[in-house]
């Protein structure tokens, strides 16, 4: 059983896109739970076509007896079969946010370990309490960056905190890639971890977001879906070579 934290140093890099598509593909390998721990600015539920949850992680952080009611099941219709993804979303309620005890988060994750093969946590950006507690509650951390120095340097700080906390940073996921090969090498050297996934910039993601369906489910034959599948295979331990490509290949698809 693996608890996987998807993190970033700065917001807006596409963490939720990575989390939702990764968790969707992990259902092909085993039972999977996706947790939205970005409780200040949650939007994972919209990506999966869920309404703002009546009972959510915020309720569980106040009273753990709400746990089962706060987990929602999403059916994913892949081409050959239907899989189920369990989702523990957060709520947009500001009032509920004021009453939670974030320190309960680790106990909640520990209580769920034996129920799933994979738990994916969509972590708040940065190094605040809402990010640090989910990070130390995980087994493995993956850092999402964009091919730009500011994003990479901010994630470098997250890597240092994870190292101090004894949590493994297993790799870097470069999102919104347009063929910037030099930035791949820069990210590996600056952060001190390997690139485990390169996900191209694509309008398909935005279109699928609006429909509430992950791109790997809606357009499984697309180039971006194939890159998500390579990332997933890498994370589950398969021997997959992740090679950066140039702008010409990006433009030609």
Per-residue pLDDT at 27 exceeds 90:
yes
State which residues form the domain around 201: 2-252
pLDDT given at position 100: 80
Confidence band (pLDDT; 50, 70, 90) for 96?
A: low
| Tokens (6 digits) for 68 | 């089962």
Q: Average pLDDT of 219-238? A: 96
DSSP secondary structure of the chain: -EEEEEE-SSSSS-HHHHHHHHHHHHTTTS-EEEEE---SS--HHHHTTPPPPSS-HHHHHH-GGGHHHH-EEEEEE-SS-EEEEEEE-----HHHHHT--GGGHHHHHHHHGGG-SEEEEEPPSSSSHHHHHHHHT-SEEEEEE-SSHHHHHHHHHHHHHHHHHT-EEEEEEEEEESS-HHHHHHHHHHHTS-EEEEEE--HHHHHHHHHT--HHHH-TTSHHHHHHHHHHHHHTT---------HHHHHH-
247: left (phi over 0), alpha (psi -120 to 50) or beta: alpha
CA distance 238 to 232: 9
For 227, other C-beta atoms within 10 Å of its C-beta total 21
pLDDT given at position 101: 84
pLDDT given at position 135: 95
Confidence band (pLDDT; 50, 70, 90) for 93?
A: low
Q: Average pLDDT of 219-232? A: 96
pLDDT given at position 94: 57
pLDDT given at position 156: 94
Domain at 31, CATH number = 3.40.50.300
Give per-residue pLDDT as tens, 33-75.
999 998 888 888 888 988 888 899 999 999 999 999 999 999 9
pLDDT given at position 56: 92
Confidence band (pLDDT; 50, 70, 90) for 116?
A: very high
| Number of structural domains the chain divides into | 1
């Amino acid at each position: 059983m693996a608890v996987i934290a998807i993190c970033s140093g700065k917001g807006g890099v596409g963490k939720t896109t990575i989390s939702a598509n990764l968790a969707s593909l992990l259902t092909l390998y085993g039972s999977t739970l996706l947790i939205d721990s970005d409780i200040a600015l949650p939007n994972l539920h919209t990506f999966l076509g869920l309404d703002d949850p009546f009972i959510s992680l915020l309720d569980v952080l106040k009273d753990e007896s709400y746990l089962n009611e706060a987990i929602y099941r999403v059916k994913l219709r892949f081409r050959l079969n239907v899989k189920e993804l369990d989702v523990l979303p957060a709520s947009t309620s500001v009032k509920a946010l004021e009453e939670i005890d974030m320190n309960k988060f680790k106990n909640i994750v520990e209580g769920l370990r034996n129920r799933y093969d994979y738990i994916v946590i969509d972590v708040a950006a940065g190094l605040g309490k809402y990010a640090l507690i989910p990070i130390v509650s995980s087994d493995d951390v993956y850092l999402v960056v964009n091919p730009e120095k500011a994003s990479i340097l901010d994630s470098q700080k997250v890597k240092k905190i994870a190292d101090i906390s004894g949590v493994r940073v297993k790799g870097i996921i470069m999102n919104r890639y347009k063929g910037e090969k030099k930035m791949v090498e820069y990210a590996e050297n600056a952060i001190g971890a390997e690139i485990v996934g390169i996900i191209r910039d694509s309008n398909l993601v935005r279109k699928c977001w609006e429909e509430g369906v992950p791109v790997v489910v809606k357009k499984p034959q697309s180039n971006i879906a194939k890159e998500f599948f390579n990332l997933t295979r890498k994370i589950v331990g398969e021997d997959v070579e992740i090679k950066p490509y140039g702008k010409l290949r990006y433009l030609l698809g």
